Amino acid sequence: MNEPGFVVWFTGLSGSGKTTIAVELEKKLLKRNLRVQRLDGDIVRKSLTRDLGFTEEDRKKNIERITFVTRLLAKHGVATLVSFISPYISVRDNARKEVNEENAKFVEVFVNASVEECASRDIKGLYKKAFAGEIENFTGVSHPYEEPPTPEIVCNTEYETEEESTKIVLDFLEKEKIIPLQIKI
């Protein structure tokens, strides 16, 4: 009854495809009858982090609160899919440490796409505003992004379809026995 869950932590620039892959992965994991919870900005901003902006301090607080929630969910058996830019190595490493303290696996997925590519997608119109100087502290434009030096997985979303990226993550989870191998019938 008390086996831990696990965490898949998607990090990358705005528009790199973090949430897209997380949503697809969620569907696959739900089909396997796992308890799954996604966490992203849209989900937490209404209550958990609504007082926070985009300064370095606020971004760190943001991930600190997310980490608290993620740790508890992982402790209690939930497959927790976290997608935030989370630009700082130290903050992501702390999330990993906390999750590991619950004996839960932490899988860091670097969702890798260049600023140019993300800006050309510009789904939310944010890059345009950032380049025009209308948004301060925009990651990749006016705020640093620290690439993960040793992520478990890199999804190169400039070259992979979302199905391919999702399969890479799912295959990793199976290979590492974080989820059971699916028996084909």
In whole angstroms, give the CA distance from residue 138 to residue 126. 9
| 51, HSE (Cβ side, Cα atoms, 13 Å) | 4
Query: How many angstroms separate the CA atoms of 153 and 28, rounded?
Result: 18
Taking the C-alpha atoms of residue 139 and residue 135, their distance in angstroms, rounded to an integer, is 10
Given 7, 8, 13, 78, the residue binding a second copy (CB under 8 A)? 78
**86 catalytically annotated:** yes
Q: From the candidates 86, 90, 114, 165, which is the catalytic residue?
A: 86
Q: Two tokens at 133?
A: 């100087």
Rule CB under 8 A: which of 15-74 touch a second copy? 33-35, 37, 44, 47-48, 51, 61, 64-65, 67-69, 72-73
Question: Considering the complex, what minimum distance in angstroms separates the CB of residue 1 from a second copy?
Answer: 5
- Pick between residue 68 and residue 159 the one whose CB is nearest to a second copy: 68
Q: Which positions touch a second copy (CB under 8 A)?
A: 1-2, 33-35, 37, 44, 47-48, 51, 61, 64-65, 67-69, 72-73, 75-78
